[in-house]
């Protein structure tokens, strides 16, 4: 099973875990008034007729989305895209942000063996065969071996800062998804309240007005809930991956200094 296929499976499962409970909770039956429940079938028919006149009276998530207008549908699509992006980033980080991925054991062992032999060029060539933070940092040190150990330390430190910033920027995209989601939900809430007060001002009092007002408020609250459902896991995972990456970066910097300390007395072997 390929890595991309596994990631797509995980993405589908995460999306199902997020969306299915929301849809299930939203599938409420049409509301029945207490008067209709107490008064029998005749009053129930009248209450259903009033609900139909007010726009259906249903409160399912699909009715909330389709009844929210062009802006509301656009906001729901943005929330869906944001949730998919957050799930994709989280799955990708679970795969890529690991000690074995960032600090490959094979690379470390071969570079350490070359340094024990005093062959800097062999270590440099081995680093050039790989791509990643650790090879880039080691190359910065090995390429300046003739400049002295102080220059090597400066170059390694600068390369380590650059690679660490690149890794942190990737994780920051997950935080961005978590920050955008509640703002989209808030915008949907504002839109729903605007529609509610507009309908309240333009509609005569009665069952129709109550039904429309209830639908507009439901639209406002559902967008807020959807934004929080996306934001809370995204921000929590961002904090987890940020701390996990910080520990890996510290280990990588310590390992780099341990590998280059042999350059104090090493001689360059030219082929």
Helix (H, G, I), strand (E, B) or coil at 134: helix
Which range, 88-97, 126-135, 139-148, is most confident?
Answer: 88-97
Is residue 224 a contact partner of residue 188, using CB atoms and an 8 Å limit? yes
Query: What's the pLDDT score for residue 179?
Result: 92
pLDDT digits (tens, 9 = 90+) for 181-225: 999 988 888 888 887 777 777 656 556 667 777 777 878 888 888
Query: What's the pLDDT score for residue 206?
Result: 58
Q: Given the structure tokens 């007395």, which residue do they identify?
A: 265
Is residue 36, in this structure, part of any structural domain at all? Answer: no
Is residue 112, in this structure, part of any structural domain at all? Answer: yes
Is residue 167, in this structure, part of any structural domain at all? Answer: yes
Is residue 197, in this structure, part of any structural domain at all? Answer: yes
Model confidence band, residue 82 (pLDDT cutoffs 50, 70, 90): very high
Whether residue 34 is predicted with pLDDT greater than 50 in this model: the reply is no
Domain hosting 208: range is 69-264
Is residue 62, in this structure, part of any structural domain at all? Answer: no
Number of domains in the chain: 1
* Greater model confidence, 267 or 108: 108
Model confidence band, residue 100 (pLDDT cutoffs 50, 70, 90): confident
Is residue 109, in this structure, part of any structural domain at all? Answer: yes
Model confidence band, residue 49 (pLDDT cutoffs 50, 70, 90): very low
| Residue 118, both tokens | 């005093």
Is residue 258, in this structure, part of any structural domain at all? Answer: yes
Q: What is the pTM of this model?
A: 0.68
Q: What's the rounded Cα separation, in Å, for the pair 110 and 171? A: 30
Is residue 209, in this structure, part of any structural domain at all? Answer: yes
* Greater model confidence, 14 or 214: 214
């Amino acid at each position: 099973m390929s890595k991309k296929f596994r990631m797509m499976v995980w993405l589908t499962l995460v999306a199902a875990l997020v969306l299915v409970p929301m849809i299930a909770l939203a599938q409420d039956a049409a509301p029945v008034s207490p008067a209709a429940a107490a008064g029998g079938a005749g009053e129930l028919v009248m209450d259903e007729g009033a609900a139909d006149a007010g726009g259906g009276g249903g409160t399912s998530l699909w009715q909330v989305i389709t009844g929210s207008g062009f802006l509301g549908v656009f906001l729901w699509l943005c929330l869906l895209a944001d949730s998919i992006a957050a799930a994709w980033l989280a799955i990708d980080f679970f795969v890529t942000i690991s000690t074995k991925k960032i600090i490959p054991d094979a690379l470390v062992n071969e570079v350490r063996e070359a340094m024990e032999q005093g062959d800097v060029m062999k270590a440099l060539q081995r680093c050039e065969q790989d791509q990643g933070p650790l090879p880039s940092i080691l190359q910065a040190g090995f390429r300046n071996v003739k400049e002295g150990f102080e220059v090597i330390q400066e170059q390694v430190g600068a390369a380590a800062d650059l690679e660490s910033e690149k890794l942190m920027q990737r994780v920051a995209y997950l935080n961005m998804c978590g920050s955008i989601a509640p703002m989209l939900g808030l915008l949907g809430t504002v839109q729903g309240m605007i529609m509610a007060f507009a309908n309240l001002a333009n509609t005569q009092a009665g069952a129709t007005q109550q039904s429309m007002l209830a639908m507009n408020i439901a639209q406002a609250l559902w967008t807020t809930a959807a934004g929080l459902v996306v934001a809370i896991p995204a921000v929590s995972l961002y904090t987890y991956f940020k701390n996990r990456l910080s520990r890996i970066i510290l280990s990588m910097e310590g390992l780099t200094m341990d590998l280059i300390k042999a350059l104090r007395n090493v001689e360059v072997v030219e082929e």
